Chain A
Amino acid sequence: MPALTFTNVSKTFGDNTVINAFSADIHDGEFLVLLGPSGCGKSTLLRMIAGLSDITSGDLLFNGDIANDWEPKKRGVAFVFQTYALYPHMTVRENIAFPLIMDAFRKWYHLPIVNIVARHRLMRRPDIAERTLRIAQQLELESLLDRRPASLSGGQRQRVALARALVRNPSLYLLDEPLSNLDAKLRTQMRSEISALHHKVGKTFVYVTHDQVEAMTMASRIIVMNKGIVQQVDTPDEIYDRPANTFVARFVGSPPMNLIAASVGDKGLKLSGKLAVEHGTALPSQREVTFGIRPEKLSLHAAGEGRLPARVTVVERLGAETVIGCRLLTGEDDQSGRLLETDLVFVRVSGNPKMQIGEPCSLDYRAEDVLWFDVDTGQRLS
């Protein structure tokens, strides 16, 4: 049985629909990533799982039970916020132990002075102290236990937030863009740490991000969302190799998949409406389609050697590889200076081919690497 099931879940704020009839299963123990651009509703979805946002319509099931109206406490989830949301007035030790102290909560702890005394007493309780220390050791926070969050670096705060989530041993971990406030180097390091953590604890992780690198490297499955609608639910490989539509094709991958308007006629394939290409294999039955190919599936050649004549317009040297942006020479308006996004075709090549901007070149591809998309719906045809 899936750990979580969404059945036609929708969320509206007034007239604004943030999530539209979302349906998906989240399996026990998997690392599921909700991927999408800002404002696509992925964080709202996470908050609905946690019980921090109401569900407008549809059902959310926890292990088969409808949980729409469950209090956050009953759901037994841990949540790592984008801003970490550590308690600034408590030490790292108190922050980590807080969920355990709350588990031992009694009604009279509501009183302001009583709760301070109770908190300090509970902190010394052997089981709580030991568990706090164990988690701190696991995340290398031992030396920071008596410091307050304000004196910690971003990465350390991040680890404290993770420790606080881990300490209660919940069955479901919800992480809302937890790495977005870190610098690039630390982000890479924390990415590996979170993945390792998932393998270690073996619990269900639901991770929200707009960073496709995080999604591709960490997820066992990805849900790609746009404007509150699910675009594709699949493994990272499938999403990369066989995107369901043009949105996924362009959102996942850097540089994105090359999408070129194409027309299929009696004389074969024409790209950008003008460039006749000898494609080689069977073409789609529709006359107007979108031709899609990943940058690394295109090969770069000297002018005249490949089937697609082009001119270099962008060169991005990344060290081990180089991303070259080319403009297809369709024979008519390539000198007009008008450069549309779809006109630019990216090629990823290993090493440094020493290309110069403005240099003529040609591109080639294997027919089996091409994906075809419907012009109107954007859905993949093959």
Chain B
Amino acid sequence: MSFNKLTLKFLRYLLIGVLVVLAGFPVYWMAATALSLNSELYGTGQVVWPQPQNFPELMLELGQVPIGLWLFNTLLIAAGGTVLSLTLGSLAGYALSRFRFHGKGVVGFLLFMTQVVPEALILVPLYAMFITFGLLNSLTGLVLANVGFSLPVACFVLKGAMDAVPYEIEESAIIDNCPRFSVLTMIILPLIMPSIAAAAVVAFFAGWNEFLFASTFLMDRGNWPASVGLASFVGQYETPMSAVMGAALVFSLPAIVFFLLIQRKIVAGLTAGAVKG
């Protein structure tokens, strides 16, 4: 290997290393802070290295809040929103991709508009609606509110993927006696799995990171998702920083695991159709 090539390779790895450090440092700092004592954080200053001996102290602090329940609520909101968005999104995407009907353009425009309107803008009208429908203070209401935003994204992502599936494959299935709905479930959906994974990530994280609607619509502490629970650590006079970071770490881990599990599919989904295969 020539000197130039070696230098280029070294620089490439150096760049990757810098990017990994930049991306990984916040997670590391979160862990290091979680394993620090509040007295250190607000007094002598934080030790750069994680201190595992402080783990029992952290557990004690986290044990004072129902963090497991909050995480479960978050999971319900994220998973519920994902399943509902993908189910409705694939049906709507299929209709928009394959059928001609009056108002198709209007439907597309309205779906797009949901992405233009800020969440905060519809907070009050939504609050009034939730009172009317009895959805206030319920996780179901929160799932529905989130789906309102993640469904159009899922719909557009899946429609785009379905557009790339040749008509002939679908017609071939129809000739083979496959009913129309099964054409979707047996033929189209398996072919657009990468895009489904990409849409799932969008919907899942929209639910996982949910804060605004949750902090407005959920009054019971037991219904809170982890995001609202985390915010509740911040007090008027003190903020137990190590507990906040510990809880944040616990809150982040399932999301990181979920992302790692389907990251390959997502990359394939994002680049699907870029190259004629």
Q: What residues of chain A have their CB less than 8 Å away from a CB belonging to chain B?
A: 50, 52, 72-73, 77-79, 81-83, 85-89, 98-99, 102-103, 105, 109-112, 115, 119, 164, 168
Cβ–Cβ < 8 Å partners of B191 in chain A: 88-89
CA distance A73 to B172 in the complex (A): 11
Listed A/B pairs (30) with beta-carbon separation below 8 Å: A50-B171, A52-B171, A52-B175, A72-B175, A73-B174, A73-B177, A79-B175, A83-B166, A85-B168, A85-B169, A87-B172, A87-B187, A88-B169, A89-B190, A98-B173, A98-B176, A99-B177, A102-B176, A102-B177, A102-B178, A105-B177, A109-B186, A110-B179, A110-B181, A110-B182, A112-B185, A115-B182, A115-B185, A115-B186, A119-B186
Q: Is B189 an interface residue (CB 8 A)?
A: yes
Which partner residue on chain B sits nearest A107 by CB separation? B179
CA distance A112 to B182 in the complex (A): 8
**CB-based contact A109/B166 at 8 Å:** no
Which partner residue on chain A sits nearest B182 by CB separation? A110
- Which residue of B177, B187, B190 has the most chain A CB atoms within 10 A of its CB atom? B177
CA distance A79 to B173 in the complex (A): 10
Smallest Cβ distance from A131 to chain B, in angstroms?
14
Find residues 129-178 in chain B having any chain A CB closer than 8 Å to their own CB: 166, 168-169, 171-178
Q: What residues of chain B have their CB less than 8 Å away from a CB belonging to chain A?
A: 166, 168-169, 171-179, 181-182, 185-187, 189-191
Other-chain residue from B166, B169, B174, B185 in contact with A72 (beta carbon distance below 8 A): B174
Smallest Cβ distance from B168 to chain A, in angstroms?
4
**CB-based contact A112/B175 at 8 Å:** no
Other-chain residue from A85, A111, A115 in contact with B166 (beta carbon distance below 8 A): A85
CA distance A78 to B172 in the complex (A): 9
Smallest Cβ distance from B158 to chain A, in angstroms?
14
CA distance A78 to B175 in the complex (A): 7
**CB-based contact B172/A79 at 8 Å:** yes
**CB-based contact A52/B174 at 8 Å:** yes
Smallest Cβ distance from A175 to chain B, in angstroms?
12
Other-chain residue from B171, B172, B175, B179 in contact with A105 (beta carbon distance below 8 A): B179
Other-chain residue from B168, B182, B189 in contact with A81 (beta carbon distance below 8 A): B168
Cβ–Cβ < 8 Å partners of B189 in chain A: 112
Cβ–Cβ < 8 Å partners of A82 in chain B: 168
Other-chain residue from B169, B179, B181, B185 in contact with A87 (beta carbon distance below 8 A): B169
**CB-based contact A83/B187 at 8 Å:** no
**CB-based contact B177/A85 at 8 Å:** no
Smallest Cβ distance from A316 to chain B, in angstroms?
35
Cβ–Cβ < 8 Å partners of B172 in chain A: 79, 81, 85-87
Smallest Cβ distance from A153 to chain B, in angstroms?
16
Other-chain residue from B168, B176, B182 in contact with A109 (beta carbon distance below 8 A): B182
CA distance A168 to B178 in the complex (A): 13
Closest 5 CB pairs of A and B: A85-B172, A85-B168, A102-B177, A99-B176, A79-B175
Cβ–Cβ < 8 Å partners of A52 in chain B: 171, 174-175
Cβ–Cβ < 8 Å partners of A89 in chain B: 190-191
Known pairs A72-B175, A83-B166, A89-B191 / 4 extra A-B pairs, C-beta < 8 Å? A87-B172, A88-B169, A98-B173, A105-B178
Which partner residue on chain A sits nearest B190 by CB separation? A89
With contacts A52-B171, A85-B166 taken as known, whether A111 is within 8 angstroms of B185 at the C-beta atoms is yes
Cβ–Cβ < 8 Å partners of B182 in chain A: 105, 109-110, 115
Cβ–Cβ < 8 Å partners of B168 in chain A: 81-83, 85
CA distance A111 to B176 in the complex (A): 18
Cβ–Cβ < 8 Å partners of B181 in chain A: 110
Which partner residue on chain A sits nearest B170 by CB separation? A85
